[in-house]
Chains A and B, each alone.
With several copies, the nearest count.
Chain A
Amino acid sequence: MPTRLAVEIGKLKLSNPVMTASGTFGYAEEFQDFMELKKLGAIVTKTLTLKPRQGNAAPRTCETPAGMLNSIGLENPGLEIFIQDKLPFLKKIGIPIVMSIASEEEPEEFLELVSRINLIPEVAAVELNISCPNVRGKNSLIAQDAEATYQIVQEVRKRTDKVLITKLSPNVTSIGEIAESAEKAGSDAISLINTLGGMSIDVQQRKPKVSSGIAGLSGPAIRPVAVRMVWEVFNKVKIPVIGMGGITDVPSALEFIIAGATAVSVGTANFINPKISLAIVSGLKEYLVSNKIADIQELVGSLKI
């Protein structure tokens, strides 16, 4: 039986629904020894800002039960150096590249970034990271406020025809409400979840294990929260959802798709098994075959409840 894995995120066509999550796949070079990169659905870059950012002090990560905390602080080389040093490699892969961007001063930096990215034909889509908990000096995130989310998405939408993905934070009372704002403001898709705010303490030293104190929790530990939020958002909006949060294997990727994700992103699991995203691609295919499903889109949101 022929099975179809291809999916669409707005006008973006992916050969399969498996992407890599921002900040967990470097700029893809780091994974070339382990897989044929072009077999991925899409690659999302580490979040970029206009100017280079040094990020936070070490230690930046620690392990927690079935999860990890990170507080990288959006270290990145800035847009120019990215275009010079990192983009050429990404271009050559030949699959959709999603540029994740964040801004230190809204909305100006976002708009500046987008206007420059408009000029790069090889960038297929822009992911607005309005949910990164690791930018120092801020008390709340854009993605924690429906109105602020609406504003920024709308401003960016006006300035670009590229596929626009808004990445949401799970650290909110009602994820559906924020997703609705992003949809109304013209986002083509919603991606979620970014990390959950967390903290871990070294009790001998009585100091946080990650230098910034509060950091972002990811990995299998947060999967049930992520699946629940994908389900909530799927039931609230009509635009496609890109699901992530603790995907480590084929069943966990399927959980997100069944809960309503059109595509999924593999994050922390890349650190544990750098080949896992492609293993998930093949596993999804096998699932379709053995369950006699012709098109993966039939699975999206197929939860019986």
Chain B
Amino acid sequence: MKNFQLSAKILSQKKIKGNYWHCELAAPLIAKNACPGQFINIRVSDTYDPLLRRPLSIHGVKGTKIKIFYKVVGKATEILARKKKGELLDIIGPLGNGFAFGKRKTENGKQILVAGGMGVAPLMFLAERLKKTTIQVLVGARTREELLCINDFKQAGCLVSVATDDGSAGFQGRVSDLLKQLLQEAQFRPQTIYACGPRLMLKAVADMANEYALAAQLSLEEHMSCGIGACLGCVVKTKGGLKRVCKEGPVFAAKELAW
């Protein structure tokens, strides 16, 4: 899959709530080639601080536009949020492998998407592309205010259940416990679980997929210095040895991973 480095114009930049921002970029070559689970690598400043690019998932594609959805957590995301409509962003993409779907039988089965925190970012794009199937989305966050994309998932035709650590909305507990409940009660037996979120959540999802003999595809994060497979910085242990999250990932089959 070919990668492109381009200067993408910001078409819109909106604060959704709190520290969460939504941004659309004009990036025809990336939009055309992007698959759910892939990401772009952004240079937010032409100074040396911050120095490295920052990876952000592709949140959606609409015509020649790509969407990103990000949380301001530090230097680079803060600078990004200060950028205005019309400004240009130096981006590289579409990077990584993306979720495997569509070419398999699972396409017409039921799917379950498990998102923890910002994990909604790539899964929203996946939900749009999976549209033809029945999709159950589980969204987890610490508290009600941090639940993300609920309406977007609904609009995309998904069934949505939520979990909050503090019980301020939906199931009280971790989203992985909600998944467990769902699987136990056999309410919903998916063919594949697609998950993105904190490492511990992904581990729990992997364990459950194993227990229930389900396929699971997990989107991982590692600190990335290049995003294009050159630095070997972003490796994760798999049964087949170390793999680069930016290149062989960020999506890995749960059964491949050696936690």
Interface residues of A (CB under 8 A from B): 23-26, 30-31, 33-34, 46, 54-55, 58-63, 65-68, 70, 72, 75, 219-221, 248, 268, 270-275
Contact = CB atoms under 8 A, between A and B. Distances in A.
B51 A60 contact: no
A72 B230 contact: no
Given A24-B230, A55-B232, A60-B233, A271 B48 contact: no
Given A54-B242, A63-B50, A30 B230 contact: yes
Given A75-B242, A273-B90, A274-B230, 13 more contacts: A30-B226, A30-B228, A31-B228, A34-B3, A59-B233, A60-B234, A61-B224, A63-B225, A66-B48, A268-B225, A271-B226, A272-B52, A274-B5
A25 B235 CA distance: 16
Given A66-B51, A67-B51, A271-B226, A61 B231 contact: yes
Main secondary structure of the interface of A (DSSP, over half): loop
A272 B48 CA distance: 10
Nearest to B76: A63
B248 to A, nearest CB: 13
A219 B4 CA distance: 24
A20 B10 CA distance: 32
Contact of A270 (B49, B222, B226, B241): B226
A31 B230 contact: yes
Given A270-B226, A275-B5, A70 B49 contact: no
Residue from A26, A272, A273 with most neighbouring chain B CB atoms (10 Å) = A272
Nearest to A246: B48
Contacts of A270: 226, 230
A75 B236 CA distance: 13
B222 A58 contact: yes
Contacts of A60: 223, 232-235
A63 B51 contact: yes
A226 B241 CA distance: 35
B43 A72 contact: no
Given A33-B4, A54-B242, A271 B49 contact: no
13 contacts: A23-B231, A30-B230, A33-B4, A46-B232, A55-B232, A58-B234, A59-B223, A61-B234, A66-B51, A68-B225, A219-B51, A271-B225, A274-B92
A59 B4 CA distance: 27
B96 to A, nearest CB: 13
Contact of B49 (A30, A66, A275): A66
